[in-house]
Structure 1
Amino acid sequence: MALRIDIRQDAEGAIRQAVDVLASAEPVALPTETVYGLAADATAAAAITRIYEAKGRPRFNPLICHMSDLAMAERYAVFDPVSRRLAEAFWPGPLTLVLPLRPGSDIHPLATAGLDTVGIRVPKGFAGDLIRAFGRPLAAPSANTSGKISATDADHVEADLGNRIRLILDAGPSDVGVESTIVKVENGEMRLLRPGGLAAADIERVAGQRLKRKRAASAAIEAPGMLASHYAPGASVRLDATDVAAGEALIRFGQHPVAGEKEAAIVLNLSPGGDLSEAAANLFAFMKRADASGAASIAFTTIPDEGLGEAINDRLRRAAAPRS
């Protein structure tokens, strides 16, 4: 079983222990402001292979490479003017930029799934400190079995991956609760590959232009989170519910009651006050609680498709998609 260290009690000791594990080409589960990540040396084939093995993740699905700051990111990728403006405005934070690899970059092709681009993010807080101490970028998808619900606290990681990894770093619940927003700039135009913890409107305000939405689901995988079925609980997922069947789990948003909820297996409310930030922070934890209720189906009421609601609805549509 993985060793678990509370970084709120001993951050320096946690960094020393984590650097030792990372240097041995093993992954470490670490907290970020978005979700918990399963991090390993982005320049080492053996380390990246162990991420894929621990998660059961398909190797055509690229990994985000996390940097300590913009200066480190510039050593591995080429920034166009729009991407640089976004990085300066939102890093550290929940924004990933897909950029051309710099010639001679040490990032291993396993991390980029063989693409000539790389997704880069600078996380807030402890994760950035750990990368700085390690001195190399960390490839870090979410710390969960591939395709399943992302982990937003150390308990989730331990229950899912605790017998497959050596070290879990615990910082309590994630602040944002959904993964980063992923943007790619092509010919000066921004394209949204995955909505996430940074609202599209904030990106558009800084860039002074509109974000184009990603291509059809049949398009090639360019970034994490683009698979049609993803973020899925064991139970089936039903969206835009106006009623709930007896024994079904219900996850609500806002104050309006739902017909039949007294007979539901469990009733959870992402945000009674209709706050999308609160809803995003609760999303994955509540999905796990509903799944653990034993219900065969989880019903979600409608969530506004604006601000962080775009990211929430993206996760729910993928959770509800047909599964292979």
Structure 2
Amino acid sequence: MIQLDSINNNFLNDVLKLIHDSKLKVVQTVNTTMVYTYFEVGRLIVEEEQKGNERAKYGKKIISELSKHLTLEFGKGYSTTNLKQMRSFYLTYSKGQTVSDEFKLSWSHYLMLMRLDNPKERQFYEIESFNNNWSLRELRRQFDSALYERLVLSREKEEVKRLSEEGQIIEKAQDTLKDPYVLEFLGLPEESKYSETELEQKLIEKLEHFLLELGKGYAFIGRQVRFTFDDKHFRVDLVFYNRLLQSFVLIDLKIGEITHQDLGQMQMYVNYYDRYVKLEHENKTIGIILCKKKNDTLVEITLPENNEQIFASKYQTVLPSKEELKRLINDK
């Protein structure tokens, strides 16, 4: 009889990985088949309704009768509500889009995406959900935090079209930035009093959520990371590394309004990392100051005109008003 501890670990891991991957592919195939089937059911319903004015007039009756037959044949899953959703799914996606042509998301994802009236916004979230493997919960969080609107506000008009067609492309430091950053997952009321240390601790406790808010490519390095020169010690609140940009990202937390001293301090941090920490093949260090209040004029005057390393962004601890953000977009 073979003893379990006699099996080569690498061999065992290879077999386990193969089986796990195959099960995942089966689930993905089932999901894709189901979504495609619902799309086709929606198509048949629409075509049946559009065969003539009389049938279109009695569209609700067609769905009701179809629901009865399908429920008798297949059981649950074909209520009138579900069939109406399949009809809406076809009407929404029959015009053809990038990712949706292949239906790579779950039916639950599409049920949410169908509720978005703006085709560009819907396509952006569809692309990002697939590219980042967002769960339905993560998709809802990104939508509720108005990710699309916040990214649109931080981009020039010519870049907005690319955002809806390709998703968020990270090529330079500015591509990762948001203003504001939304930290509603911390559970801190907007007007509550807390220290920078408490804010930092909350972010560490909710690190997974914070990484999702930071965006693509971020890996956590450490908190209160110390460096020393001339017998003086300095600490960076939070240090990350972005694999896509191949650069360190230093984050300093400020619970009040940003000052020129804050910007100068971050410039010193960035200079130190560029000269003594980063490797030769890595790109220049990025510094982000997260502050409660930001003076755009102060930031613009303090930083050099060709600045590509130091950035200041506001943070807020409640979900933003999507209506207000949309008004700001229209005013751009």
Q: Calculate the TM-score normalised by the size of structure 2.
A: 0.24
Of Structure 1 and Structure 2, the greater helix share is in: 2
Q: Which has the larger radius of gyration?
A: 2
Structure with bigger RCO (C-alpha 8 Å, 6+ apart):
1
Q: Calculate the TM-score normalised by the size of structure 1.
A: 0.25
